[in-house]
Amino acid sequence: MATEVRKVPEYCYQCVAGPDLLTVKVEDGIATEIEPNLRAAEVHPGGGKCCVKAFGLVQKTYNPGRIVQPMKRTNPKKGRDQDPGFVPISWDEALTIVADHVKAIRAKGILDEEGFPRIAASIGRTSSPSAYIGTFPAFLEALGAVDWSFGSGHGVKCYHTEHYLGELWHRAFTVCPDTPTTRYVLSFGANTEASGGVVATWRHAEARVKGLKRVQIEPHLSITGACSAEWIPVRPKTDAAFLFGFLHSLLNDHPRAALDVGFLLAHTSSPYLVAPNGFFLRDSASDKPLVWDSLRNAAVCFDTPGIEPVLEGVFTASGLERGADDDRWRHEQVRVETSFMRLVKQLAAYTPEWAEKVCDIALGTVRRIAAEFLQHAQVGATIDIEGERLPLRPVAIVLGKTVNNGWGSFDCCWARTMAACLVGGLEVPGGTLGTTVVLNPPRSPRKASIKPGPDGFMAYAFNPTDRARWKLKGPARNAHSALVPLSTNSPGATTLGPAHLAWMFLEDRPANAPRVTFPDLWFVYRTNPAISLWDTPEIIKRIAKFPFTVAFAYVPDETNYMADVLLPECTDLESTQLIRIGGTKFIEQFWDHEGFALRQPAVKPRGNTRDITNISTELAARSGVLSQYNDAINRGVATGISLATETYDFRLEPKSHYDVEDIWDRVCRAASAEVTDGNATDGLAWYREHGYRTRPVPRLNWYLFPDLKKNGIRFEMPYQERLLRIGVELGRRLHESGIEWWDEQLHEYQAIPEYRDFPAIWARDVVLHGGTAEQYAFWMLTSRSMQYSWGANAGIPLMDEVARNIKGHRGVVVNTGRARELGIADGDLIEVRSYLRATRGRAILREGIRPDCLLIMGQFDHWVMPYAKDLQAPSLNTITPMSVALTDATGSGADIVRASLKKLASA
């Protein structure tokens, strides 16, 4: 029996959908149980619960495979076939080795001969440095310039395109329904119940029993599909066709009055007049876009008071048209039409019947879904939120991975946003909402990021494409600033950039692309691109060429196998960090409170592991950047809260060396002051006891519409004049630089998207590599489960154990009927091959998958990580190519590959 039992409040932030609050039971100094922090139900919108991953934290702590002593490599050769020969060393030696490298680099200059930072860093989980890893981001900030290009999956395997376009159109880094009030959701492969975290799961469950109807449109019946009213097994990568047919039906099968015409006229660019060259017709004097005023029967500036703009029509008007690179056309009495008119015309060809054929779904589906959507939209309804009357539009559309990234995602994101606008359901109660802002700070509250931009739209910090400012060679190896204007140059831009391009360009540089160098020093924080990117055997070879790699290592893995120094740091239950909670955040975190929660050492660190904050401080001191490091912490880098404002001052002295507890005590005091408006300054001890501290925030913060309306800002829908212009300019810049391998991507810069045969892009890629579409007849897909969505849980036995209760893990899901045709039985060993190579696993026969698709859950194929290496689970990443041809204009690919299927052995 335990003699001393404590329950220690913690949070879990192993995935982007957190943090969630919990307690850990500690018996005689040993962590034994994770429990939800049900006291937090008073503020936490998921009932104070934590998800399945949190329960893996105990095994994570006591994992016998953990690295608990600093190590250095003794084998100078690197590669999968090279034993690194790690030997234990002291912390002093380890930190000295690393700091000496840093100092040497700083002495040489932080940028290399190609202008790239000599130091690169990659981190796992959230790609959000301030959220998880102590003060390490402050150390990196202190170094001056660090390249975040070498991603592990984020940037390309996330909701990449949605991040950019979502922020452009409604400050929506990610998008979700206003679940508590919505009644009808079209979900294109959004696996909310697997990856939406506790709050999304909680909200959707509540909504389902209250009658929410969700239609899941995806090639396989996912976990979320199981929790939906209907499954529509759409052909992969044809979601855009479905959405175009759906829009067509909304525009053509129903009277215009059934749509929210008032919203379209007042809050979108629908009435803006489009001139002959495809750009807005503008007022010559003010440069403002013109609309047709039915009262004056004339074209007037869109913001002229007292007008009645026309939604549809073709008119004759005069004005200025401004194209790319400031090309200007003066028009006198030319034929112009409204943006909405352009929309209607463009979508005329995309009939529901056409869409159903492209998507390979039952006839009548698209029209029925459109009618249901419109019926549920309750156009005209209102709701009072905190005394303010807002439109109520309880319908939403959400997109999942491989729908909102990679080819076709621009079209899908656009159509999703357009559909919401047609019924006035964007950023209003019940409708389609953004969650948070990353590229256009400030992040919280989201409405604070609304800044008036040109033409009545929100401002967006595009990377420049004009001749004077565009540069082929940018600050990062992933070329995001040169190729992806939407990626912005905000602090998070590099991390979110097209990660695979950096990896690709190291070895396969297309014609006239800038030379990409290996960084002199690469920090890897608990991330494993050798498993989680694509074409992983090739990635491993490139990682092996990095000259000096420092890995913050929890267990040996496939990436830190190539490291030169391993720094073992404390895990969740051993370390200290204060984190912001509440407000609004992805995936569906919508709180009525905001504040801070503490992660604290519930147990002593295992072995000779250290808190990442202490490691960071020590590295800063030894690298000669302590004052810069302390300054960064003072500014809120890494902690998200400034240590000094007008009302309080808890700053660190620049030259002092602080312990982890000192630092976080000051952060806690600042947090207390912020939450209480300066009335309290409780420090670490208070948070250790109470776990979290919050204050109420208005629910109106959830919705952007009221503030947009107040500021007279419109949603930039339907017509993408800015993107059109940028695309033309980017094309010119690239061609001027001799780059033609991005031409296909340039087609994506359209004012109103034109459907392209997206599946054919993959078929063409197969042919280009010597195969045929028939040879690789299957679409290999992947899907997430809650056990393995983020979290780096592949080596945690408890996750594996319970994940096996859900079909699909550890094997390859094959349609039952198709498998029978191929003589494959449940449990047979099968091989799935792309034009790159093969992966193998056990066949799992299911009816809930299209006959032309295969599915692998999660990301596996480990060969170093303890426990995970014995799972013998297949991996999509092993066989998926990295390819410019498969990269869309936002620099995003998709987790999908054409594959063949072969039986190797019977069960």
Site string for other proteins, 136-175 (x = CB under 8 A): ----------------------------------------
Using the rule CB under 8 A, is 208 a contact of other proteins?
yes
Site for other proteins in 11-30 (CB under 8 A): 27-28, 30
Among 14, 23, 61, 130, binds other proteins (CB under 8 A): 61
Using CB under 8 A as the binding rule, whether residue 226 contacts other proteins is answered as: yes
Q: Of 466, 444, 448, which is closest to residue 458 (Cα–Cα)?
A: 448
| Residues 302 and 309 sit within 8 Å (Cβ to Cβ) | yes
Cα angle vertex 355, ends 351, 356, to 5°?
115
Residue 36 in the binding site for other proteins (CB under 8 A): yes
The CB-of-425 to other proteins minimum distance in angstroms stands at 19
Least separation in angstroms between residue 853's CB and other proteins is: 11
Question: Between 143 and 803, whose beta carbon lies closer to other proteins?
Answer: 803
Candidate residues 198, 264, 317, 602; the one interacting with other proteins per rule CB under 8 A: 198
Among residues 82, 96, 230, 852, which is the contact residue for other proteins, using CB under 8 A?
230
Binding residues among 232-271 for other proteins as defined by CB under 8 A: 233
Stretch that binds other proteins, among 208-216, 258-266, 699-707, 740-748 (CB under 8 A): 208-216
- What are the structure tokens assigned to 703, written together? 């919705």
Q: Is 825 one of the binding residues for other proteins (CB under 8 A)? A: no
Instruction: Mark the segment that binds other proteins (CB under 8 A) among 60-68, 298-306, 404-412, 675-683.
Output: 60-68
Report in angstroms the alpha-carbon separations of 841 from 126, 832, 904.
29, 8, 10
Q: In what order do the strands lie in the sheet with 230-232?
A: 230-232, 213-217, 184-188, 395-399
Taking the least distance from each CB to other proteins, the nearer of 204 and 446 is 204
- 87 part of the interface to other proteins, by CB under 8 A: no
Site for other proteins in 648-707 (CB under 8 A): none
764 CB-side CA count, 13 A = 10
Is 907 a binding residue for other proteins by CB under 8 A? The answer is: yes
Length, in residues, of the chain = 907
Q: Smallest distance from the beta carbon of 548 to other proteins, in angstroms?
A: 32
Of 144 and 866, which has the nearer Cβ to other proteins? 866
Q: Which residues contact 802 (CB under 8 A, 6 or more apart)?
A: 52, 787
Binding residues for other proteins restricted to 338-367, rule: CB under 8 A: 362
**Least distance from other proteins to the Cβ atom of residue 374, Å:** 17
> Buried b vs exposed e over 613-634: b needs ≥16 C-beta within 10 Å?
bbbbbbbbbbbebbbbbbbbbb
692: β partners: 597
Exactly one of 85, 108, 817, 902 binds other proteins (CB under 8 A); that residue is 817
Least separation in angstroms between CB 207 and other proteins = 10
Stretch that binds other proteins, among 49-57, 165-173, 518-526, 895-903 (CB under 8 A): 49-57
Q: Does 407 bind other proteins (CB under 8 A)?
A: no
Given a contact cutoff of 8 angstroms between Cβ atoms, the answer to whether 298 and 273 are in contact is: no
Contact flag: residue 531 with other proteins (CB under 8 A)? no
Among 64, 441, 510, 607, the residue binding other proteins under the rule CB under 8 A is 64
Contact between 874 and other proteins by CB under 8 A: the answer reads no
- What lies within 8 Å, CB to CB, of 32 at 6+ separation is 25, 26, 58
What the block records as the tokens of 541 is 């070879």
Of 104 and 226, which CB lies nearer to other proteins in the complex structure?
226
Provide the minimum distance between the beta carbon of 553 and other proteins in the complex, in angstroms, as a whole number: 17
Instruction: Give CA–CA dist 510/884, Å, rounded.
Output: 9
Q: In terms of CB distance, is 651 or 842 closer to other proteins? A: 842
Q: How far is the CB of 606 from other proteins (least distance, A)?
A: 9
Please give the residues from 838 up to 867 whose contact with other proteins meets the rule CB under 8 A.
Answer: 842, 844, 846-851, 866-867
* Identity of the residue, 24 or 766, whose beta carbon is nearer to other proteins in the bound complex: 24
- Rounded least distance, CB 345 to other proteins, Å: 34
Q: Which helix (H) or strand (E) holds 598?
A: strand 589-599
- 214 near other proteins, rule: CB under 8 A: yes
Q: How far apart are the first and last CA of the chain?
A: 46
- Would strands 382-385 and 388-391 be described as parallel, antiparallel, or unpaired? antiparallel
Q: Which is nearer to other proteins, 160 or 183 (CB)?
A: 183
DSSP-derived secondary structure letter, 465: -
Judged by CB, which is closer to other proteins: 48, or 391?
Answer: 48
376 binds other proteins (CB under 8 A): no
Q: Which stretch binds other proteins (CB under 8 A): 221-229, 256-264, 643-651, 718-726?
A: 221-229
3-class secondary-structure state, position 481: helix
With CA atoms as reference, report the closest residue to 855 among 907, 818, 887.
Answer: 818
Q: Does 767 bind other proteins (CB under 8 A)?
A: no
Distance of CA 395 to the CA centre of its chain: 23
Residue placing its CB nearer to other proteins in the complex, 157 or 810:
810
827 binds other proteins (CB under 8 A): yes
Binding mask 773-812 for other proteins (x = CB under 8 A): -------------xx---------xx--xxxxxxx-xxx-
- Please return the burial class of 230, using the count of CB atoms within 10 Å of its CB with bins 0-12, 13-18 and 19+: middle
Tokens of 115: 């202008």
Closest by alpha carbon to 886, among 835, 843, 832, 846? 835
Assess contact for 37 and 22: CB atoms under 8 A: yes
What is the helix (H) or strand (E) element at residue 446, kind and residue range? Answer: none
For residue 526, the minimal CB distance to other proteins (Å) is 19
| Interacting span for other proteins (CB under 8 A) from 226-234, 393-401, 591-599, 770-778 | 226-234
Number of residues that bind other proteins (CB under 8 A): 83
Residues 51, 198: contact at Cβ < 8 Å? yes
Q: Is the dihedral of CA 550, 555, 560, 566 positive or negative?
A: positive
The gap from C-alpha 485 to its chain's centroid, in whole angstroms, comes to 17
Tell me how far, at minimum, the Cβ of 159 lies from other proteins, in Å. Answer: 20
Considering only 47-55, 118-126, 151-159, 237-245, which stretch makes contact with other proteins by CB under 8 A?
A: 47-55
Residue nearer to other proteins on the CB measure, 152 or 571: 571
676, 872, 885, 903: residue in contact with other proteins (rule CB under 8 A): 872
Residues 6+ apart with CB under 8 A from 366: 242, 245, 246, 249, 352, 355, 356
695-717 in b/e form (b: 16+ CB < 10 A) is eebeebbbbbbbbbbeeebbbbb
